[in-house]
Amino acid sequence: MNYKVIDQTATQEEKLLEVPYLKRPIRNFVVMGRFSPEKNILNLISYFKKCSSENDILFIVGDGEGRSEIEKELTGFHNIKILGQLSTFEIAELYDKIDCLIISSLSEAGLLVGIEAMAAAKIILSTELGAMVERLKGSVNDFWFQPEDMVSFKKQFQRITNLTPSEVHRIAKKNRNLYIQNHSTKEVSDKYRNLVSQLLHISS
């Protein structure tokens, strides 16, 4: 069997790269991950309630032991919707409908969802952690907030929702270009091949 999956590249790369570039105000947000404390979703819900307008929507993708507590926080608030666990194909389809990925985690490492968002040419609002800082280096996507600081979140959230369509398009295009240059299946597989070739040459 001929496998094409390479760690830290988008699993639905071809479909994500076909998502049209954004050129509209940012209104549809998504957060993805396990419903566990380190994902900081409860704080994010609280921040979103206080900072969002009636035109803003937050989709929550995932599941876990914290679901009942999260559902309780959403009682009476209709701009936040739990979509549950989605397949990689369904997530790729979802990226065609949303504008911005939010990463609210307290701690992370690789964060594949960040790579997928870049491939899909989406804006990213994130805590300053893990590999995301390096991945977005050289971009104009500098929307970082402190995970336990609502004021920090509000400042970046307002920056994003106040972007003009042309600004959104410029940032989205840069994010996708960074994915293609640094994280695409072709780029990463070429790096693996070059590394293996160097090791074989050294050991021979």
Encode pLDDT of 68-107 as tens digits.
999 999 998 999 999 999 999 999 999 999 999 999 999 8
174 close to 140: Cβ distance less than 8 angstroms:
yes
Mean pLDDT of the chain: 88
Q: Which residues contact 49 (CB under 8 A, 6 or more apart)?
A: 77, 80
Encode pLDDT of 114-157 as tens digits.
999 999 999 999 999 878 899 999 899 999 999 999 999 999 99
Say how far apart CA 2 and CA 122 lie, in whole Å: 30
- Supply the Cα-derived Rg of the chain in whole angstroms: 18
